[in-house]
């Protein structure tokens, strides 16, 4: 059985494919090299078909996508898939939040769980699963009204091959923003753009200064539902965000951060988000008690709040989908197809790691190496040991192996790594390679057996989605990954799940006595994480990384590089609405061109 999952509308489009029991997934941005790409994922589909050895799209038995209605009231998902891919087989569609829920539960290690989905906006109330009936409460309402009711949070109960909806909450007139859009609206207000929520989270710990804090709850919470009083979307209508929350403060332009005003706004919205999510999760537990919580949706990337949920609710274990944002929608679609439609055995596609991309052969690597000037390379007998020695000498390395990760985090297959013991390493890495804002922290990768020695964490955190305190007696040992508030966004690493990346950290620990390395995504600010060996070489030759490891090969520059001295694009100006409209604009202009 070959099942294809697709995310084709909005931002962070992509595809996932199950063939003969094997699961793979890729985001379109990784192959078209446009950050948060909203293009129809033709390149992703081609990538997966080739990797799985399928001849063409009609070798696929079932395609699962997300329901999307046009202005004519018809679901346009199927038509788009057939038009773009030439597919003639079965198509099934589900809601945005159902895809998130499937991505969280079916990838989790749990046999049963409560499932929570929280994001900016999902599907409209009309955009339900194929062949399902519209709830009575929505029948009889005008189409244009119901279409404006959009998912903001959903609760489910999951067991085996079943995910049952418990409740679903939408934006409604007078309350058009959930906590996800409030957080995104804050990002826009702080001039970080639509995709700057991670920057808000990184800035927040600099706030909370006595006498300067802002007491603003941002949302009302009623029976576990969190909505903000508002008439329009705060991201698209940020003037209304300002009017609602900060009428006497102008939107940030280029004011230096951290400061005493905008930093406190970041602190306030982060605190409100944590409190809101804790109350949501407590309410979910009251109506559907379980030891296990599965969690997805863009808000699930708030790793500070995730740890607060674990520490302050009755749930004992939590699984957050590594592609919690829309990069995981295609994965959720394909898992829905496998488990709910095709009834494959429960637990068959549980994730042990996030490495769902394809691997690259030695022939492909050597061909890419041969095409790059001013480098030397050699094949190492023990590349993990060699790399660990270089890290201990203060070198910055690119680390490329195996298949790429799903989601926005680099987890040891497409990473830039360095020594966390050097206080200056954060600034050095920013100046020489990443070109990010100085207030944003870098994350550690630590051997699982050593995690409780260095961090206030007694569970696995394989996807870098839990933030924990760095133990006070260890902070001086790992200053480059310790944030201003003494925390770190932790990735735990095991031999079973992470392979040679584990060996690298173990060797570094043996050499230095510290089994922790600094790990950040292999990209320059403004570009997607690298996918191919060629992408990795291009990034290496445009930055001041010292060495690059690609599988067993150690690569060094022997001549001048063409350095990039800043972000590839201004991420603060990147808007989700622009990405969504690109396909429509492309059609419009192609028609105009054909008419001339």
pLDDT 10s digits, 120-148: 999 998 899 988 888 888 888 887 778 88
d(CA 329, CA 406): 11
Residue 572 confidence (pLDDT):
83
pLDDT of 245 > 70? The answer is yes
Written as six digits, the tokens of 550 are 């690609």
Mean pLDDT of the chain: 94
Closest CA to 156 of 145, 166, 141, 146: 166
Please provide the CATH number assigned to the domain covering 1-94+321-351+570-596: 3.30.420.40
Residue 574 confidence (pLDDT):
80
pLDDT of 297 > 60? The answer is yes
Query: Which class is 110-311 in CATH?
Result: alpha beta
Residue 583 Cα distances to 9, 79, 564, 572, 589, angstroms? 9, 14, 30, 22, 10
- Length of the chain counted residue by residue: 596
Handedness of CA 85, 91, 96, 102 (dihedral sign): negative
Non-local (6+) Cβ contacts of 140 within 8 A are none
Q: Is 2 helix (H, G, I), strand (E, B) or coil?
A: strand
Pick the residue with more confidence: 581 or 91?
91
Contact 536, 400 (CB under 8 A): yes
Where are the chain's structural domains? 1-94+321-351+570-596, 110-311, 362-557
Pick the residue with more confidence: 309 or 73?
309
CATH topology match: 1-94+321-351+570-596 vs 110-311? yes
Pick the residue with more confidence: 230 or 593?
230
Question: Quick one: 476 exposed, middle or buried, by C-beta within 10 A (0-12, 13-18, 19+)?
Answer: exposed
- Tens of pLDDT along 501-510? 999 999 999 9
Q: Cβ–Cβ contacts within 10 Å for residue 346, how many?
A: 17
Task: Give the dihedral of Cα atoms 508, 510, 515, 521; nearest 10 deg.
Answer: 10
Contact 26, 15 (CB under 8 A): yes
Residue 579 confidence (pLDDT):
53
For residue 115, name the pLDDT band (cuts at 50, 70, 90): very high
Task: Give the dihedral of Cα atoms 92, 98, 100, 101; nearest 10 deg.
Answer: -120
Query: Which class is 362-557 in CATH?
Result: alpha beta
Stated pTM of the model: 0.95
Q: Is 285 helix (H, G, I), strand (E, B) or coil?
A: helix
Contact 270, 201 (CB under 8 A): yes
pLDDT of 595 > 50? The answer is no
Residue 577 confidence (pLDDT):
59
């Amino acid at each position: 059985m070959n099942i294809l999952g697709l995310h084709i509308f909005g931002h962070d489009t992509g595809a996932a494919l199950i063939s003969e029991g094997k699961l793979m997934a890729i985001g379109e941005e990784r192959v078209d090299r446009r950050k948060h790409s909203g293009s129809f994922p033709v390149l992703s589909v081609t990538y997966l078909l080739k990797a799985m050895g399928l001849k063409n799209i009609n070798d696929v038995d079932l395609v699962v996508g997300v329901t999307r209605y046009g202005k004519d009231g018809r679901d346009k998902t199927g038509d788009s898939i057939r038009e773009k891919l030439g597919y003639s087989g079965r198509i099934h569609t589900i809601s945005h939040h159902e895809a998130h829920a499937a991505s969280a539960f079916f990838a989790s290690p749990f046999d049963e769980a409560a499932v929570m989905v929280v994001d900016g906006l999902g599907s409209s109330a009309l955009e339900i699963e194929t062949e399902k009936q519209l709830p009575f409460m929505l029948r009889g309402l005008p189409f244009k009204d119901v279409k404006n009711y959009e998912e903001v949070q959903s609760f489910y109960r999951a067991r085996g091959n079943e995910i049952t909806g418990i409740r679903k909450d939408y934006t409604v007139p007078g309350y058009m923003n959930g906590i996800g859009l409030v957080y995104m609206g804050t990002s826009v207000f702080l001039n970080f753009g639509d995709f700057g929520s991670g920057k808000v989270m990184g800035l927040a710990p600099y706030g909370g200064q006595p006498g300067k804090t802002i007491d603003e709850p941002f949302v009302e919470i009623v029976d576990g539902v969190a909505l903000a009083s508002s008439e329009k979307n705060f991201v698209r209508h940020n003037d209304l965000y300002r009017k609602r929350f900060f009428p006497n403060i102008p939107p940030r332009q280029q004011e230096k951060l951290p400061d005493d005003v905008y930093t406190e706004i970041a602190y306030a919205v982060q605190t409100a988000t944590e409190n809101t999510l804790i109350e949501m999760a407590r309410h979910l537990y009251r109506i559907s008690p379980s030891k296990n919580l599965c969690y997805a949706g863009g808000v699930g990337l708030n790793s500070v709040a995730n740890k607060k949920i674990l520490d302050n609710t009755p749930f004992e274990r939590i699984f957050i989908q590594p592609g919690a944002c829309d990069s995981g929608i295609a994965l959720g679609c394909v898992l829905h197809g496998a488990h709910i439609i095709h009834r494959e055995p429960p637990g068959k596609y549980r994730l042990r790691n996030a490495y769902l991309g394809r691997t690259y052969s030695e022939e492909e690597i050597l061909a890419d190496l041969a095409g790059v000037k001013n480098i030397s390379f050699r094949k190492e007998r023990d590349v993990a040991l060699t790399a660990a020695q270089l890290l201990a000498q203060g070198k910055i390395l690119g680390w490329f192996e195996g298949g790429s990760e799903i989601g926005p985090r680099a987890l040891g297959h497409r990473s830039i790594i360095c020594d966390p013991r050097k206080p200056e390493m954060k600034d050095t890495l920013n100046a020489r390679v990443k070109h990010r804002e100085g207030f944003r922290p870098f994350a550690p990768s630590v051997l699982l057996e050593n995690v409780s020695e260095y961090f206030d964490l007694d569970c696995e955190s394989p996807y870098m989605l839990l933030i924990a305190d760095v133990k006070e007696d260890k902070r001086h040992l790992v200053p480059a990954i310790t944030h201003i508030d003494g925390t770190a966004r932790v990735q735990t690493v095991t031999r079973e799940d992470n392979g040679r990346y584990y060996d690298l950290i173990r060797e570094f620990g043996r050499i230095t006595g510290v089994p922790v390395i600094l790990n950040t995504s292999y990209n320059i600010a403004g570009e997607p994480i690298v996918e191919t060996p060629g992408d990795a070489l291009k990034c290496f030759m445009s930055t001041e990384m010292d060495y690059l490891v690609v599988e067993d090969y150690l690569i060094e520059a022997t001549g001048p590089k063409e350095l990039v001295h800043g972000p590839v694009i201004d991420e603060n100006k990147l808007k989700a609405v622009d990405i969504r409209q690109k396909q429509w604009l492309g059609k419009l202009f192609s028609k105009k061109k054909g008419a001339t």
